[in-house]
Amino acid sequence: MTSSAQLSVASIQMVSSPSWEDNLSSATQQISAAKSAGANLIALPEYFCLMGHSDQDKVKICEQFGDGPIQDALKNLAIKYQVYLVAGTIPLASTDKNKVRNSTLVFSPSGEVISRYDKIHLFGFKQGDENYQESNTIEPGTTPTSFTITHQNTEWNIGLSICYDMRFPELYRAIGVVDCHVIPAAFTYTTGKAHWEILLRARAIENQCYVLASAQGGKHNNGRRTWGQSMLVNPWGEIESELKDGEGFVIGHLKKELIHEIRTKLPALQHRTL
Query: pLDDT tens-digit profile of 168-214?
Result: 999 999 999 999 999 999 999 999 999 999 999 999 999 999 999 99
Element (H, E) at 131: strand 130-133
pLDDT tens digits for range 220-236: 999 999 999 999 999 99
At 134 the pLDDT is 94
Going by pLDDT thresholds of 50, 70 and 90, the confidence category of residue 2 is low
Strand partners, 144: none
At 190 the pLDDT is 93
pLDDT tens digits for range 66-122: 999 999 999 999 999 999 999 999 999 999 999 999 999 999 999 999 999 999 999
Q: Is the pLDDT of residue 44 over 60?
A: yes
At 72 the pLDDT is 98
CB-based contact 102:89 (threshold 8 Å): yes
In a domain, residue 53? The reply is yes
Given the residues 49, 62, 163, 209, select the one marked as catalytic.
Answer: 163
Q: Is 119 a catalytic residue?
A: yes
At 270 the pLDDT is 96
In a domain, residue 1? The reply is no
Residue-averaged pLDDT of the chain:
96
In a domain, residue 263? The reply is yes
- Predicted TM-score (pTM) of this structure: 0.96
- Residue 270 DSSP code: G
Q: How many residues are recorded in the chain?
A: 274
At 3 the pLDDT is 61
Q: What is the CATH number of the domain that holds 216?
A: 3.60.110.10
Spatial separation of the C-alpha atoms in residues 194 and 189, rounded to whole Å? 9
In a domain, residue 239? The reply is yes
Q: Is the pLDDT of residue 1 over 60?
A: no
Given the residues 35, 119, 255, 256, select the one marked as catalytic.
Answer: 119
At 75 the pLDDT is 98
Element (H, E) at 183: strand 180-185
Domain span holding position 175: 6-271
Q: Is 163 a catalytic residue?
A: yes
Spatial separation of the C-alpha atoms in residues 84 and 199, rounded to whole Å? 25
In a domain, residue 266? The reply is yes
Spatial separation of the C-alpha atoms in residues 256 and 1, rounded to whole Å? 9
Positive or negative, the Cα torsion across 182, 56, 72, 218?
A: negative
Going by pLDDT thresholds of 50, 70 and 90, the confidence category of residue 4 is confident
Total number of domains in the chain = 1
Percent of the chain with pLDDT over 70: 99
In a domain, residue 128? The reply is yes
Q: Beta strand pairing status for 130-133 and 113-118?
A: unpaired
In a domain, residue 23? The reply is yes
Would you state the torsion angle of the CA atoms of residues 244, 165, 108, 72, taken in this order, to the nearest 10 degrees? -90
Give the three-class secondary structure for 74: helix
Spatial separation of the C-alpha atoms in residues 230 and 136, rounded to whole Å? 27
| Residue 105 main-chain phi, psi, to 5 deg | -110, 140
Q: Is the pLDDT of residue 133 over 80?
A: yes
Q: Is 63 a catalytic residue?
A: no
At 61 the pLDDT is 96
